[in-house]
């Protein structure tokens, strides 16, 4: 039995796949099984996987004829894995050379079912350094020490750690039990959350080490993103609602208040995340985004109050905006009226000056001296004309 099974789901990540595979085959842990799951790739990824499988005897390739989602690719690998423990590596990320060896030694020493390790985040594309740092802080949240019991609450309610899979090593027993409870749904968003929920229901002890063993390349592969749009938000709401539905409909291992509180917290998280996305949208798109949220969560009474308050807030923002625009228009109209009055006063003054000049000219032409002057100038001209 291998000490660790490393599961590597692949879907159209050809540009980054060799770097990823090199980090996998370069592990210092010798007793390592590498399971690559081609999830219906249409680029050159299948050929790269076959090349590496031909060169390294510990690599096996599982092929999905069509794309079945990241969750199903990981599930295929987990149910095929023969190792004592399981780790996951996304095909656009990399592992430190001693990642598997350190994680394996740490989880065995801790006697845990799940062990978390540190992550280094590198930003690409639209991801800024600040964005990468923020995500790195979020994903590296860890409890102060080992946890025994209450793991759903620790993750989803108290937020002592996050639900990502790639920064953890799992007991194969727990991993397989969790994936057997997952259905065949297509999940490419929040699939880590869904899987980790079932893992934590099956697990008894959680431990962690601070060592950064995983490099997460945010902004390439599946985490690459463009400008948010109402349609993208609608799809995200639909996928998150499907995850939430899968959690509610799944049979319970432990049941009780902890499970219910965790599911309620997940619903609130999905909804609040959607609201924040709405607020980042252009004003003209916000109503459509709120409608998408309502359609996705229309069977969860817990969010109705939040949705009503958000619509009320949006309406109030609209009224305030219209009021500001009205005040701006009134100020502009006042300035225009003032300018028109000034122009009218200037016109009246010019007309008055013209009237004065006209009156002066009229008085001048009617005076005796003016007429005598005309006569004196007329006589010489008349004599000159007769002499010609």
**How many whole angstroms separate alpha carbon 190 and alpha carbon 201?**
17
* 132 touches 123 (CB < 8 A): yes
Q: What is the pLDDT of residue 121?
A: 97
**How many whole angstroms separate alpha carbon 236 and alpha carbon 230?**
10
**How many whole angstroms separate alpha carbon 64 and alpha carbon 71?**
13
Distant-in-sequence, close-in-space partners of 80: CB < 8 Å, separation ≥ 6? 35, 60, 62
Q: What is the pLDDT of residue 233?
A: 80
Domains present along the chain, CATH in parentheses: 4-226 (3.90.550.10), 240-316 (no CATH)
Backbone angles phi, psi at 327, to 5 degrees: -65, -40
**How many whole angstroms separate alpha carbon 325 and alpha carbon 334?**
14
* Prediction pTM value: 0.75
Q: What is the pLDDT of residue 304?
A: 47
104 burial type by CB count under 10 A (0-12 exposed, 13-18 middle, 19+ buried): buried
Q: Where are the alpha helices (DSSP H) in the chain?
A: 14-25, 45-55, 70-80, 99-110, 129-139, 151-152, 172-181, 191-202, 230-249, 256-280, 286-296, 304-366, 368-387
Which of 187, 215, 38, 35 is CA-nearest to residue 121? 215
Which of 249, 259, 293, 257 is CA-nearest to residue 273? 293
Backbone angles phi, psi at 268, to 5 degrees: -65, -40
Which of 162, 83, 78, 79 is CA-nearest to residue 119? 162
**How many whole angstroms separate alpha carbon 312 and alpha carbon 308?**
6
* 285 touches 252 (CB < 8 A): no
Q: What is the pLDDT of residue 345?
A: 86
Please work out, in degrees rounded to the nearest 5, the angle formed at the alpha carbon of residue 75 by the alpha carbons of 73 and 76. 65
For residue 44, the 8-state DSSP code is: S
Backbone angles phi, psi at 344, to 5 degrees: -65, -40
Q: What is the three-class DSSP state of 63?
A: strand
Across the chain, which has 388 residues, the per-10-residue mean pLDDT values are 97 96 97 98 97 98 96 97 98 97 98 98 92 96 95 96 97 96 88 95 97 95 63 82 82 75 87 80 78 69 52 56 68 81 84 81 65 65 72
Q: What is the pLDDT of residue 287?
A: 78
Q: What is the pLDDT of residue 119?
A: 98
Please work out, in degrees rounded to the nearest 5, the angle formed at the alpha carbon of residue 340 by the alpha carbons of 336 and 345. 150
**How many whole angstroms separate alpha carbon 150 and alpha carbon 156?**
10
**How many whole angstroms separate alpha carbon 301 and alpha carbon 297?**
8
Which of 216, 70, 226 is CA-nearest to residue 135? 216
Q: What is the pLDDT of residue 375?
A: 63
Q: What is the pLDDT of residue 145?
A: 95
**How many whole angstroms separate alpha carbon 194 and alpha carbon 181?**
11
Q: What is the pLDDT of residue 298?
A: 62
Identify the bridge partners of residue 38 per DSSP, sorted by sequence position. 10, 63
* 9 touches 90 (CB < 8 A): yes
């Amino acid at each position: 039995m291998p000490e660790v099974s490393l599961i590597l789901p692949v879907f159209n990540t050809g540009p980054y796949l060799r770097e990823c595979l090199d980090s996998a085959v370069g592990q210092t842990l010798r007793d390592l099984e590498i399971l690559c799951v081609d999830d219906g790739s249409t680029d050159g990824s299948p050929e790269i996987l076959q090349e590496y499988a031909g060169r390294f005897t510990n690599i096996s390739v599982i092929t999905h004829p069509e794309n079945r989602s990241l969750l199903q690719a990981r599930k295929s690998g987990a149910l095929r894995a023969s190792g004592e423990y399981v780790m996951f590596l996304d095909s656009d990320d990399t592992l430190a050379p001693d990642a598997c060896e350190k994680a394996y030694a740490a989880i065995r020493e801790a006697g845990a079912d799940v062990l978390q390790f540190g992550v280094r985040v590198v930003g690409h594309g639209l991801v800024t350094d600040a964005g990468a740092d923020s995500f790195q802080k979020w994903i590296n949240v860890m409890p102060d020490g080992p946890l025994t019991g209450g793991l759903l609450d620790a993750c989803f309610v108290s937020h002592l750690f996050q639900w990502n899979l790639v920064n953890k090593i799992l007991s194969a027993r727990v991993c397989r039990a969790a994936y057997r409870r997952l259905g065949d749904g297509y999940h490419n968003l929040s699939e880590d959350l869904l899987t980790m929920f079932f893992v934590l229901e099956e697990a008894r002890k959680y431990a962690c080490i601070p060592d950064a063993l995983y490099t997460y390349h945010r902004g390439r592969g599946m985490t690459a993103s463009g400008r948010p749009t109402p349609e993208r938000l609608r799809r995200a709401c639909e996928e998150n609602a499907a995850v939430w539905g899968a959690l509610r409909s799944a049979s319970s291992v432990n049941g009780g208040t902890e499970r219910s509180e965790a599911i309620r917290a997940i619903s609130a998280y999905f909804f609040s995340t959607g609201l924040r996305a709405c607020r980042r949208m252009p004003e003209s798109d916000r109503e459509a985004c709120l409608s998408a949220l309502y359609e996705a969560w229309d069977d969860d009474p817990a969010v109705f109050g939040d949705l009503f308050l958000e619509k009320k807030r949006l309406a109030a923002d609209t009224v305030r905006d219209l009021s500001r625009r009205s005040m701006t228009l009134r100020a502009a109209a006042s300035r225009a009226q003032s300018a028109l009055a000034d122009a009218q006063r200037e016109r009246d003054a010019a007309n008055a000056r013209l009237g004065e000049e006209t009156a002066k000219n009229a008085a001048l032409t009617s005076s005796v001296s003016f007429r005598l002057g005309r006569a004196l100038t007329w006589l010489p001209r008349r004599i000159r004309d007769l002499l010609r």
